[in-house]
Chain A
């Protein structure tokens, strides 16, 4: 009998369907991996399982019985413990208080006994083989990696029947990953169920007994890990790729240097980078999460302070702020990682979003020139084929793809000719992805210079002219066009891992 079964689960967010009648089944005593691209519905599914979200339709069954109660408390009572990628720790409480939250041993006066709490935590850490984290430290003072370990310990503390590991290794160093995989394996051998969500195929191969692949909110299939090859898994994840997802690539780079960085560094995250970006070029950036890409992009956009020197169109500059980066003499514009929180004013009309970064250009005698504004907006809407009812439609009501186009339109409305694309296709539908890639190549051809980071290596291989690979804050390789392949890029990220 299946320990866990999900049938016909559907969940919508506004107009976006995150899960579309998906189904899932897992047995006790296995490590079951759930795979899928960004936006496939994995995280929505585990949030429903752990009570953080309520499904619009469908049912979840445990040991053959339908679960009726909702909410994190009900999930916990049913023996489900999630370890979230986004972390559910309370930063203002201590490690011990977080791990046993709501299950603390109480003194006769109904007080939480600190001593008991810390002793219990120390015992748990000893049992799990974790060391180096004091139970009475505030979570706020821990590094991200340590917080992730605490989150894992917290999930294990209640000895759940079902442990959900959601990208739990993203901030861990290799030996910690080994530690976690070992724990997952042992729990399965002890008859528990472990759900393992990860982008890292190597880990999945090492630990998972079976694999279920999701795509566009639906279940594609389930297979024994040993009976299926990587290519097949990738094919299941991607489905039938659009024939023309990627545009034809003609080298459009000129000899002119748009951007030259020497010794670029940001805190501990970026440790001295030298590179040049040329006019007409799309320079790809690859790397595992947290290896300095974010800092690189934020530094160039003027959003964080950096060391080293920078030349823009041959002139040495120091970029003080995003406003300075966008100003006429420099012209560097960022398409940020998180469009809902960094890119768009969701409660404002498309019109105001599009012109926000270009207002100084549209102002005459202190007043905004409405005609000029309307012209810019209508030109962007038609050029980028943004599907809006009217320019007055609120940005938050658009689909993911159209929202991203609005952010792009905002960049193009400025004078900037150096564009920084940070994972521009995240949460964007396939059709819009193709449009964005075509637009990037068109822009390059018309003299823009583009720096392009993507979590999807295939995008880099097919769109960029060159790719530089970041590993632990340094460039571990720069691959020219004729050497671009997913294999080579992946290997370069791995080499950096091993070296460090």
Chain B
């Protein structure tokens, strides 16, 4: 049997194509400004991409489950604000405080999942509503950008354990986590439920359990993103999360995860997040105003999806081998 390049690229989680796009963009940057990808530069790129990577990680799991999570915008803001409220805490109390921040994210996710599953409501509307609620709470906690992050956290955000920048380390940890998670029964159950709820039920998958896991992970990841944002800027923002909702969905979609559920994975999403991030560098190098980055991101998103749907239509027409 002959395996063409396109079928190879279409295999696994569908991250072949975005990876090619990422390399093309990176290649362009390297051409325009040689030495753009030294270790120091990579660390900077990583640091600026990690917030999006975290949010998009949770979004990937939810989209694989066949849902969508808009509330990550609120959760990110709330986590960043909480992170910046207690600069006075002594070092030892910081871990429980971090656990609390992530716990809040988890609870928000569980609330989403329970409302969606028990009332059989549409994820889009439910998470739109909880986004508003959680962002509102963030605004109540801290009405505007500000606060102070505990010095230890701020230092941590720029630390280099084992000589590796913390953002790079976090990215590696995240990929390790994914390498583990994608092979667990829960990941397969989430895929199954996202692919076809009825078949999943017949295969003894708990539809509510997979929802709780997916939205719970999404909440924790969004909280982690908010925490990381706070350590990078030294302050919290009750509205910053809104900037990440749409890019997170874009990263997921560019990464080859289908909004219809069941397919996709984190490798593609991380690739997608870096594609979105590097467009900024391209725009900078072309000496365009930074707003071209937004336009480019939108255009890439549409082009990737249109290409994908054309390829899919063609492969459907040729039919599965019979």
Contacts and interface: CB of A to CB of B under 8 A. Distances in A.
Interface of A: 50, 52, 71-73, 76, 82, 84, 87-93, 97, 101-102, 104, 106, 109-114, 140-143, 145, 267-268
How extensive is the interface on chain B, given as a class? 20 to 34
A72 B201 CA distance: 7
Given A91-B195, A112-B184, 4 more contacts: A92-B195, A102-B204, A112-B188, A113-B183
A175 B201 CA distance: 32
Interface of B: 180, 183-185, 188, 191-192, 194-196, 199-205, 262-263, 319-322
Contacts of A104: 185, 188
Given A104-B185, A112-B185, A73 B204 contact: yes
A436 B257 CA distance: 47
A411 to B, nearest CB: 29
B183 A72 contact: no
B151 to A, nearest CB: 36
Nearest to B261: A92
Contact of A72 (B192, B202, B320): B202
B263 to A, nearest CB: 5
A397 to B, nearest CB: 20
B321 A93 contact: no
Given A90-B195, A143-B320, A268-B319, A72 B262 contact: no
Contacts of B321: 141, 143
A82 B319 CA distance: 28
B191 A142 contact: no
Contacts of B196: 90-91
6 A-B pairs with least C-beta separation: A92-B262, A111-B183, A88-B202, A73-B204, A92-B195, A90-B192
B188 A93 contact: yes
A111 B184 contact: yes
A104 B203 CA distance: 13
Contact of A88 (B180, B183, B194, B199): B199
29 contacts: A50-B202, A52-B201, A71-B204, A72-B201, A72-B202, A72-B204, A76-B204, A82-B202, A87-B199, A90-B191, A90-B195, A90-B199, A90-B200, A92-B192, A92-B194, A92-B262, A93-B191, A93-B192, A93-B195, A101-B203, A104-B185, A104-B188, A110-B185, A111-B180, A111-B183, A112-B188, A113-B183, A114-B183, A141-B320
B188 A142 contact: no
A261 B319 CA distance: 25
Contacts of B184: 110-112
A130 to B, nearest CB: 17
A89 B199 contact: yes
A50 B204 CA distance: 11
A143 B204 CA distance: 25
Contacts of B201: 52, 72
Contacts of B319: 267-268
Contact of B192 (A87, A101, A114): A101
Contacts of B183: 111-114
A90 B320 CA distance: 16
A82 B196 CA distance: 18
A141 B263 CA distance: 13
A478 to B, nearest CB: 27
B180 to A, nearest CB: 6
Contact of B320 (A73, A89, A113, A142): A142
Contacts of B194: 92
Contacts of B191: 90, 92-93
Contacts of B180: 109, 111
A173 to B, nearest CB: 11
B188 A97 contact: yes
A444 B133 CA distance: 63
A50 B184 CA distance: 26
A168 to B, nearest CB: 15
A142 B319 CA distance: 10
Nearest to A138: B11
A76 B180 CA distance: 28
Contacts of A90: 191-192, 195-196, 199-200, 203, 262
B263 A92 contact: yes
